[in-house]
Amino acid sequence: MPGPVPQTIRLHRSSAELELVYGTGEQYHLPCEYLRVYSPSAEVRGHGQGEEVLQTGKKYVTIKALNPAGNYAVQIEFSDGHDTGIYSWDYLFELGTHYEQKWADYLNRLETEGGSREPVSDPIIFKG
């Protein structure tokens, strides 16, 4: 059975969160960084089990735009240029209901693999 469809979706730019409100009274505030690192795109998920690509340096990523994808999903455009993830209503509900566990898993994976939430700045190179 498919998950519920959000009645309201609000982008809160000041807190960098996407708010999902459901008819059941449930609501979730999902940080942009969380949505970005759990993008359903092949770039993030890979093409099969075990091919997931750890996303690093996404702490300050924001959402530039939300675009409807039929009646079943939303496409999110992020400030880092990523825009290939189509977030189905089912997947957004899953991200909301399992936020704490998924976020803890992500932080543990970062620590285990030596990644960081902080973006890496490009070095300045002076040539003479």
Q: Is the dihedral of CA 18, 77, 2, 107 positive or negative?
A: negative
Please compute the mean of the pLDDT values over residues 83-110 and round it to a whole number: 97
Phi/psi at 56 (5° precision): -125, 160
Sorting pLDDT into bands at 50, 70 and 90, what band is 1? Answer: low
To the nearest whole percent, how much of the chain has pLDDT over 90? 82
Q: Which domains does the chain have, with CATH numbers?
A: 8-113 (3.30.2020.30)
To the nearest whole percent, how much of the chain has pLDDT over 70? 92
What is the rounded average pLDDT for all residues in the chain? Answer: 92
Question: Looking at the predicted structure, is the pLDDT value of residue 44 above 60?
Answer: yes
Looking at residue 128, what is its pLDDT?
62
Higher pLDDT, 2 or 49: 49
Question: Looking at the predicted structure, is the pLDDT value of residue 114 above 80?
Answer: yes
Question: Looking at the predicted structure, is the pLDDT value of residue 126 above 80?
Answer: no
- 45, two tokens: 């998920």
* Burial of 101: CB neighbours in 10 Å, binned 0-12, 13-18, 19+: exposed
Please state which of the ranges 9-23, 44-58, 86-100 shows the lowest mean pLDDT. Answer: 44-58
pTM for this prediction = 0.90
Residue among 98, 22, 93, 103 at smallest CA distance from 59? 103
